[in-house]
Amino acid sequence: MTGQPQEVRCKGLGVSEGIVIGQVLRMHDGTQHVYRWRINDAGLEPERERFRAAVNLASRRVQSIKEYAEERLGKDHAYIFDAHLLMLEDEKLTGDIERHITEKHTNAEWAVKVVGDRLLSLYSEINDEYLRARGSDVEDVMQHLLVALSGDSDRPRDLSEDGVIVAQDLLPSAVAELDLNHARAIATDSGGWTSHTAILARGIGIPAVVGLRDFFRRAKTGDRIIVDSNRNEVILHPSESTLSVYQTEAAKRVNVGRATASQDRSPLLTADGVEIILRANVEVPSEFEGVEQFGARGVGLYRSEFLLAHGGVLVSEDDQRLAYERIAKLGGDDGAVVRLFDLGAGTLRDAGSNQSQDQEKNPALGLRAIRFGLRNEEMMRTQVRAILLAAKVGRLKIVLPMVADVSDVSRARAIVDDESANLTRAGIAFGEVSIGAMIEVPSAVLMAESIATMVDFFELGTNDLVQYTLAVDRGNDEVADWFRTLHPAVLYSIGQSLNAARAAGIPAIVCGEMASTPAYSVLLIGLGATELSMTPSAIPRVRRTLAGINSEEARAIAKDCLSCHTADDVENLVRERFSALWPDLFPPTSLPASRVVNPQLT
């Protein structure tokens, strides 16, 4: 094939509205697929030369990460990178890789992988735990080399004006230092409506298409790309005629789809006078101004794991305190809820995660969220201290992610009490914080009554509640058809949890993505919710919807939904009843067809 590469169209799931024409910026999530190809005699020296250039590039990058880490985290943490630099300068290691290229006639990537794997297996046999854990340094260095060989960036902080982030998946720690002001769109291989990539894209208001399967492999940094979330599609190497169609369309669509600021600060009442409180979910600073702009009543959920530096390096206590102070101020009189790190094994580099944890077979069911915190107690204590100190300047609450029952709550509470006592003993001023539980796994729903006696409030994480109740991975597009937010089992679990909170006299905030979808928000009110938390830009449309409905009617519909047998039955019922009762709020085209995968309900 010569000349212009062929246009390639890939279907995925548009999870944040809009269309963007830009350039690919590939971003690695830490796992590289390595392929082998044969190098002939004449190609060997250029291949070795390519490898040497990659070593130089990787060293420069590690050096700059080290300087960045020193600035942000202090010298104590930056030493990790000295070990990486030493490895890159190690002539035995680089010599072995060059020799492998020569003797086996293979590409440099393959040689890096073979020599790296050999070294890793030596580390894994070492008896000393500390030295064994150094295996992760070998992995990091190999990763840097592979990224350098691929010609990609592993930390694109300086995005060009039209950069479209293309990744297999975007982990919170990778997002943490992205220059989101310049990211124009996101396209990822994995993910669904409730994946963090989707949540974040909607939060910062840029188009995103997820679930593209093997798009990452096909795209190269610098390729022209069109992200068309409205058609659930990305187009690589668009032809001239495709480009001109999109350029015309883009010109027409400027700013369409962006929510406008809401000036309305009056209490939100349903048509029959029930007060509903709408709060904000936030992850990264670029979302912060939306809290005030869209009239949120404080921060209902701060996903603190987005604080981690690139590569999963933990942020110091002082930096955490500053971040939580900022969140407390953002919440103002209505306060802010900080969720303790919702991390999984393998996402954090210096909290003692080891090789075997990194390779969990079932990470969603593994050492994550509150379990990870309790296992890495020092990390949790540091975070709790930072929150207690920040609570001096504003109203902060702590919410515990993914508790299974009261034992998780009491262990976490003991740590908060202990850290409060330590601060008191040391004469250091701090603020009181109340403690809530995320209700997002089936056991927490079943034990909601007893958990309610141990906490000050509930937060219902419907994203995980759908995932765990229906046993459907929320990030796996293969099973997206089974991810049914309106499944009767999910609605039943929400109703049960809200009832338990009401019986115990504690508030409950529903903070999953369900709350930000107008039709779903009506059902939540019908199930008894009075506080919802969502991405700030969703607030005006949810506000408009809830102001126009009658809560008693919503209750009657929700009750009928609970006696349905399938998600299809619920959706049919919702369609019929909503369009009959509120035709202006829900014209037929705005209601789901027969399946809600991408619920763009307005």
- Catalogue the active-site residues: 196, 511
Stretch that binds ligand PEP, among 113-121, 130-138, 455-463, 491-499 (CB under 6 A): 455-463
Q: What's the CA gap between 600 and 290, in Å, rounded? A: 20
Query: Under the criterion CB under 5 A, does residue 300 sit at the interface with Mg ion?
Result: no
463 lines the binding site for ligand PEP (CB under 6 A): yes
Of the candidates 178, 180, 187, which has an alpha carbon nearest to the alpha carbon of residue 207?
187
Does the footprint of Mg ion cover residue 528 (CB under 5 A)? no
Judged by CB under 5 A, does residue 459 bind Mg ion? Answer: no
- Of 45-53, 184-192, 316-324, 456-464, which segment contacts ligand PEP by CB under 6 A? 456-464
Separation CA 84–CA 114 (nearest Å):
18
Kindly give, in sequence order, each residue whose CB lies less than 8 Å from that of residue 408, ignoring residues fewer than 6 positions away: 370, 371, 374, 400
Binding-site size for ligand PEP (CB under 6 A) equals 10
Q: Which residues contact 472 (CB under 8 A, 6 or more apart)?
A: 466, 479, 482, 483
> ∠ CA(158), CA(160), CA(164), 5° rounding?
100
Q: Is 461 in the site for Mg ion (CB under 5 A)?
A: yes
Cα distance between residue 178 and residue 189, in whole Å: 18
C-alpha of 271 from chain center: 35
- Least CB distance from residue 60 to ligand PEP, whole Å? 35
Q: At what angle do helices 91-104 and 44-73 cross, to 10 degrees?
A: 150
How far, in Å, are 335, 390, 391, 414, 554 from residue 395 at the CA level?
5, 9, 6, 21, 33
Q: Pick from Mg ion, ligand PEP, none: which does 512 bind, CB < 5 to 8 A by kind?
A: ligand PEP
Cα separation, 517 vs 513, whole angstroms: 7
Pick out residues in 255-284 that bind ligand PEP (CB under 6 A).
Answer: none
Give the one residue of 98, 223, 464, 553 binding ligand PEP; rule: CB under 6 A. 464
| 163 in contact with Mg ion (CB under 5 A) | no
Told to check if 408 binds ligand PEP by CB under 6 A, we report no
Smaller CB distance to ligand PEP: residue 65 or 399?
Answer: 399
The reply to whether 464 sits near Mg ion by the rule CB under 5 A is yes
Query: Within 340-359, which residues bind ligand PEP (CB under 6 A)?
Result: 342
510 near ligand PEP (CB under 6 A): no
State which of residues 18, 331, 512, 518 lies at the interface with ligand PEP (CB under 6 A).
512
475 binds, among ligand PEP, Mg ion, none (CB under 5 to 8 A by kind): none
Selected binder of ligand PEP within 17, 98, 325, 440 (CB under 6 A): 440
C-alpha span between 103 and 129 (Å, rounded):
35
Check residue 303 for interaction with ligand PEP (CB under 6 A): yes
With respect to ligand PEP, which residue has the nearer C-beta, 270 or 304? 304
> Should residue 325 be labelled a site residue for ligand PEP when binding is judged by CB under 6 A?
no
Q: Please tell me whether residue 330 adopts helix, strand or coil conformation.
A: helix
Least Å distance between CB 113 and ligand PEP?
33
Choose which of 18, 311, 394, 461 interacts with ligand PEP (CB under 6 A).
461
Half-sphere exposure of 134 (CA within 13 A, CB side): 15
Distance separating alpha carbons of residues 255 and 404, to the nearest angstrom: 43
Residue closest to 352 by CA, chosen among 336, 372, 332, 328: 372
User: Does 473 interact with ligand PEP (rule: CB under 6 A)?
Assistant: no
> HEC states along 148-205?
HHHCCECCCCCCCCCEEEEECCCCHHHHCCCCCCCEEEEEECCCCCCCHHHHHHHHHC
Give yes or no for residue 344 binding Mg ion (CB under 5 A).
no
Would you call 569 helix, strand, or coil by DSSP?
helix
Q: For residue 253, what are the CA distances in angstroms to 20, 202, 418?
A: 10, 17, 55
Task: Give yes or no for residue 485 binding ligand PEP (CB under 6 A).
Answer: no
Structure tokens at 448: 């909601």
Binding segment toward ligand PEP, per CB under 6 A, in 53-61, 160-168, 217-225, 460-468: 460-468
Is 530 a binding residue for ligand PEP by CB under 6 A? The answer is no
Among 94, 286, 462, 497, binds ligand PEP (CB under 6 A): 462
Nearer to ligand PEP, 111 or 511 (CB): 511
Q: Is 436 in the site for Mg ion (CB under 5 A)?
A: no
Place of tokens 């003993």: 425
**d(C-alpha 306, C-alpha 274), whole Å:** 35
Segment near ligand PEP (CB under 6 A); pick from 122-130, 221-229, 373-381, 462-470: 462-470
568: left (phi over 0), alpha (psi -120 to 50) or beta: alpha
Q: Does 305 bind Mg ion (CB under 5 A)?
A: no
511 lies in the site for ligand PEP, by CB under 6 A:
yes
- Which of 203/207 has CB closer to ligand PEP? 203
Nearer to Mg ion, 321 or 397 (CB): 397
- Which range in 53-61, 461-469, 564-572, 580-588 contacts ligand PEP by CB under 6 A? 461-469
Cβ closest to Mg ion, residue 422 vs residue 476: 476
Q: Which is nearer to ligand PEP, 25 or 199 (CB)?
A: 199
Q: How far is the CB of 303 from ligand PEP (least distance, A)?
A: 5
337 has which bridge partners? Answer: 397
**Total residues interacting with Mg ion, rule: CB under 5 A:** 3
Burial string for 61-89 (b: 16+ CB within 10 Å, else e) reads bbeebbebbeebbeeebbebbeebeebbe
Regarding 223 and contact with Mg ion (CB under 5 A), the answer is: no
**Joined tokens for residue 531:** 């506080």
Q: Does 535 bind ligand PEP (CB under 6 A)?
A: no
In the complex, the smallest distance separating the C-beta of residue 237 from ligand PEP, rounded to whole angstroms, is 34
Give contact residues for ligand PEP (rule: CB under 6 A).
301, 303, 342, 440, 461-464, 511-512
Give contact residues for Mg ion (rule: CB under 5 A).
440, 461, 464
